Structure 1
Amino acid sequence: MGSSIVVSDANFAAEVVQKSYEKPVLVDFFAQWCGPCQMLKPVLEKLTQEYDFVLAKVDIDQNPELASTYGIEGVPDVRVVSHGELSNGFVGMLPEAEIRDLLAQLGLKSELELGLEAVREAIAANNPAQAKQQFDQLFQKYPEDRKLILEAAKFLLSLNQLEPAQKMLATIQEHEKGYFAEAQAIKAMIQFQQETDNPVIESELDQQFSNASKLALEQNYEAALQGFLAIVGKDRKYKNDGARKAMIAIFDLLGDDHPLTKDYRKQLMLTLY
């Protein structure tokens, strides 16, 4: 989506300043002898394939005037130019996730993010065939992307295609922080679906668990948490501590900062202890 160019004193005005009126320009001041510069280079090049910005590369040894004009004291030094105005970006090697945050602050979205937005629009329009087509296209380019896998698993769950959803989620391992918890939450939603599809009602608690599972699938999370909490209060060992685990799965799905997570986590602790 973006582009990468080599910039010098001769073309800086045309390729950086003028281009910045069309799209953001990241100016990478680097040196051939700089180790961190060489590590940063492929990361920035990769991001130009996903985001619509210009990467302008300036070798400070070949362009000392530019380095002096912009006060470059250490490399790598990445500056941002937008609408002709230059501002600080970052100095030194920065993790890819933090560079993505910087791009987001510039109002840029990756090709994957735009694709997922199109998927969500198709799902909202009740057009699963179009959503599937969008997913197929995205997986051709980003087959290992964890966000894409999680979105696709949720989509398959909505279609009640539980086995392929489980296979997708199985590729996300416990060490993948930030993704594993959500994968576990979706697995729990699959279990809720299975509980709803094939309920075994032999007791009042069975009925309550089935009802709470259905509420969770309907995204009525507060009512679902109330139902599971009531079961914990009556029988902690029910379904091998299943009600407490179900609540934790909903916490993972909502996130630690969600008001329901904060409220019901406290209520769960009070009920348990």
Structure 2
Amino acid sequence: MTPDNIIDVSEADFEYEVIEYSQNTPVVVDFWAAWCQPCKVLAPMLEKLVKETAGAIRLARVNVDENPNLAIRFGVRSIPAVKAFSGGQIVGEFTGVQPESRLREFLSRIQPPSPAGLALEHALSLLNQEQWAEAEPILREVLEQMPGNPPALLGLARALLAQGKAREAHNILSAFPASREFANAQTLLPLAKAMEDLRHHQPGEEPDEQSAAYWNAIRLAARGRIPLALDGLLDLLRQDRRNDPVRLTILGLLEVLGDDNPQTRSYRRELASILF
């Protein structure tokens, strides 16, 4: 623990250590008391996540029994209560114990962008432009600086799948951490599995036309020709809208493209018109 990063504050020094300090660095204030059991659950999670910011966020702890005027001043009616300050103002708050994923999201909203965070934004922008190969090394570098970062992991899996690198993508998706991006990762898994299975399906060896068309679409997707792959898969779904492998593969490819890609919106409308 670094004393400047995680501190105890009182009525005497709150103005300087929180209000003034927040002009340059966001400060998260944890209002707690020794008798409060939920406070003892929340505190170590907050400390862990604030430490991970390496000084980008300060955690200030206020014992409400010892500093009742601060609790009154900031309208604390139940604890644990957490309030985030930036520029001398409250910019976020919550009450009660929250899961770690919610805490990460809360802190991410107030944390100033780091070089790795800016690089991640750039890489995700490249993905939205379908510049898969250009995004991949940036995402790998981001993950070296922020190991296990869910948006970076998801972005790397998308980049890998668009380049036909299914095995590594499958490994990432199979061990994906619990996070807001977990559902997106699950959507990509059937596509990764299908691409991995390509080696068992050589052209001209399929038992019927539908199977041949399906594996041809997977082959196109592995070569980065996603729109052609989607066109073929949608044709198959029109023939049998109960074909779950085809439907799940389509959803995986749309996840690779990303929601900000104009093609995704068009293909989703087409998919909906077939299914409903």
> TM above 0.5, one fold?
yes
For 1:226, the equivalent position in structure 2 comes to 231
Query: Which among 247, 263, 274 is matched to residue 268 of structure 1?
Result: 274
The structure-2 alpha-carbon separation of the partners of 1:256 and 1:43, relative to structure 1 and needing over 3 Å to count, comes to same
**Structure 2 match to 1:32:** 34
CA distance in 1, matches of 2:136, 2:275: 44
Q: Does 1:214 align with 2:217?
A: no
Structure 2 equivalent of residue 46 of structure 1: 48
Taking only the aligned residue pairs, the percentage that are identical comes to 27
| Structure 2 match to 1:250 | 253
Say which SS state the counterpart of residue 200 (structure 1) adopts.
coil
CA 1:192–1:166: 2 relative to 1, 3 Å: closer
* Alpha-carbon separation, structure 1, partners of 2:188 and 2:164: 16
In the aligned structure 1, how far is the partner of 2:92 from the partner of 2:183? 35
Letter in 2 for 1:3: N
CA contact (8 A) 2:176 2:185 kept: no
- SS at 2:52 equivalent: coil
Question: Cα deviations across residues 161-183 of structure 1 (Å, max 9, x unaligned)?
Answer: 4333333333349x988525524
Equivalents in 1 of 2:92, 2:160: separation in Å? 43
Aligned residue among 138, 144, 147 for 1:137: 144
Distance 1:161 1:47, change over 3 A: same
Structure 2 residue ranges without an equivalent (≥5): none
Q: In the aligned structure 1, how far is the partner of 2:108 from the partner of 2:141?
A: 22
Which residue number corresponds to residue 203 of structure 2?
A: 200
TM-score norm. by structure 2 comes to 0.71
Structure 2 CA distance, aligned partners of 1:42 and 1:57? 12
Amino acid at match of 1:100: R
1:4-28 superposed Cα distances (whole Å, 9 cap, x missing partner): 1110122212111110110221111
Deviates more, 1:164-173 or 1:60-69: 164-173
The corresponding residue for 2:77 is: 73
After superposition, the CA RMSD in angstroms is: 4.3
After TM superposition, give the deviation of residue 39 of structure 1 in Å. Answer: 1.1
Question: Deviation string for 1:194-223 (max 9, x for gaps)?
Answer: 6599751367653575257525853644x5
When the two structures are aligned, how many residues end up with a matched partner? 263
The two structures have a TM-score, normalised by structure 1, of: 0.71
Q: Secondary structure at the match of 1:185?
A: helix
Asked if structure 2 preserves the Cα contact closer than 8 Å seen for 1:50 and 1:110, the reply is no
1:64-213 correspondence to structure 2 within 5 Å: 64-86=68-90, 89-106=93-110, 108-109=112-113, 113=117, 116-117=120-121, 130-131=137-138, 134=141, 137-138=144-145, 142-143=147-148, 146-157=150-161, 160-172=164-176, 178-179=181-182, 181-189=184-192, 191-192=194-195, 195=198, 199-201=202-204, 206=212, 210-211=216-217, 213=219
Distance in 1 (CA, whole Å) between partners of 2:199 and 2:134 is 24
